[in-house]
Amino acid sequence: MIPGVISTGLESWGTAEGSRQYFRKRLWGSWTMMRALVLDKAQWKRHIMLDKDTGLDPPGVKLRAAQGFDAADFFITGYWIWNKILENLATIGYDPGNAFTAAYDWRMSYQNYEIRDQYFTRLKSHIEVAVRVSNKKVVLLSHSMGSQVLYYFLHWVEAEGYGNGGPGWVDAYIDSWINISGCMLGALKDVPAVLSGEMKDTAQLNAFAVYGLERFLSRYERAEIFRAMPGLSSMLPLGGNAVWGDENGAPDDTPGQNVTYGPFIRFRNQTSTFTDKNITVDDSLDFLFRNTEPWFKKMIQTSYSHGVAHTTKQVEDNQLLPAKWVNPLETRLPLAPSLKIYCFYGIGKDTERAYYYRSDDDPLSALNVTLDTTYTAGNVDHGVVMGEGDGTVNLLSSGYMCAKGWKMKRYNPAGVKVTTFEMKHEPDRFSPRGGPNTADHVDILGRMSLNELILQVAGGRGELIEDTIHSNIREYAEKVKIYEEK
Query: Taking Cα atoms as reference points, which of 382, 356, 387 lies closest to residue 369?
Result: 356
Is the Cβ–Cβ distance between 6 and 106 less than 8 Å? yes
Q: How many of the other CB atoms lie within 10 Å of CB of 442?
A: 23
Is the Cβ–Cβ distance between 30 and 76 less than 8 Å? yes
Q: What is the pLDDT of residue 364?
A: 75
The catalytic site residues sit at 144, 390, 441
318-366 pLDDT, tens digit per residue, is 999 999 999 999 999 999 999 999 999 999 999 999 999 998 888 878 8
* DSSP letters spanning 91-142: HTT--TTT-------TTS-HHHHHHHH-HHHHHHHHHHHHHHHHSSPEEEEE
Is the Cβ–Cβ distance between 66 and 8 less than 8 Å? yes
Average pLDDT over residues 457-476: 98
Residue 35 predicted with pLDDT over 80: yes
Residue 170 predicted with pLDDT over 70: yes
Phi-psi region of 409 (alpha: psi -120 to 50; beta: other; left: phi over 0): alpha
List of residues 6+ apart from 45 with CB closer than 8 A: 221, 225
Crossing angle of helices 119-134 and 110-117, in 10° steps, is 80
Q: How far apart are CA 154 and CA 141, in angstroms?
A: 13
Residue 192 predicted with pLDDT over 90: yes
Q: What is the pLDDT of residue 411?
A: 99
Average pLDDT over residues 260-280: 84
Residue 205 predicted with pLDDT over 80: no
93-132 pLDDT, tens digit per residue, is 999 999 999 999 999 999 999 999 999 999 999 999 999 9
Weakest mean pLDDT among 64-78, 132-146, 344-358: 64-78
List of residues 6+ apart from 355 with CB closer than 8 A: 191, 192, 264, 265, 266, 371, 383, 384, 385
Q: How far is CA 439 from CA 265, 369, 416, 430, 435, in A?
A: 27, 33, 26, 15, 10
276 pLDDT tier (thresholds 50, 70, 90): low
Q: What is the pLDDT of residue 272?
A: 63
26-28 and 10-12 strand pairing = antiparallel
Residue 76 predicted with pLDDT over 90: no
Phi-psi region of 161 (alpha: psi -120 to 50; beta: other; left: phi over 0): left
Average pLDDT over residues 157-167: 98
179 pLDDT tier (thresholds 50, 70, 90): very high
Phi, psi (degrees; rounded to nearest 5) at 174: -115, 125
Residue 298 predicted with pLDDT over 80: yes
280-295 pLDDT, tens digit per residue, is 999 999 999 999 999 9
Q: DSSP 3-state assignment of 56?
A: coil
Q: DSSP 3-state assignment of 330?
A: coil
Average pLDDT over residues 22-38: 92
Rounded to 5, what percent of the chain is helix, strand, coil?
40, 15, 50
Amino acid at 345: Y
Query: Residue 105, Cα to own-chain centre: how many angstroms?
Result: 13
| Mean pLDDT value across the chain | 94
Is the Cβ–Cβ distance between 19 and 62 less than 8 Å? yes
Q: How many of the other CB atoms lie within 10 Å of CB of 208?
A: 8
Residue 256 predicted with pLDDT over 70: yes
Which residues are 346's β-sheet partners?
Answer: 423
Q: What is the pLDDT of residue 190?
A: 96
Amino acid at 101: T
Which residues are 254's β-sheet partners?
Answer: none
Q: How many of the other CB atoms lie within 10 Å of CB of 394?
A: 26
Amino acid at 36: A
Residue 271 predicted with pLDDT over 80: no
List of residues 6+ apart from 67 with CB closer than 8 A: 101, 103
Q: What angle do CA 347, 304, 222 make, to 5 degrees?
A: 70
Q: DSSP 3-state assignment of 349?
A: strand
274 pLDDT tier (thresholds 50, 70, 90): low
Is the Cβ–Cβ distance between 19 and 63 less than 8 Å? no
442 pLDDT tier (thresholds 50, 70, 90): very high
Q: What is the pLDDT of residue 341?
A: 99
Phi, psi (degrees; rounded to nearest 5) at 388: -95, 150
Q: What is the pLDDT of residue 7?
A: 82
Residue 204 predicted with pLDDT over 70: no
Q: DSSP 3-state assignment of 386?
A: strand
Phi, psi (degrees; rounded to nearest 5) at 220: -65, -40
Query: Taking Cα atoms as reference points, which of 6, 3, 2, 24 lies closest to residue 14?
Result: 24
Residue 208 predicted with pLDDT over 70: no
Enter the pTM of the model: 0.96
Average pLDDT over residues 423-448: 95
Helices (H), 238-360: 240-244, 281-290, 294-303, 312-318
Q: How far apart are CA 306 and CA 325, in angstroms?
A: 11
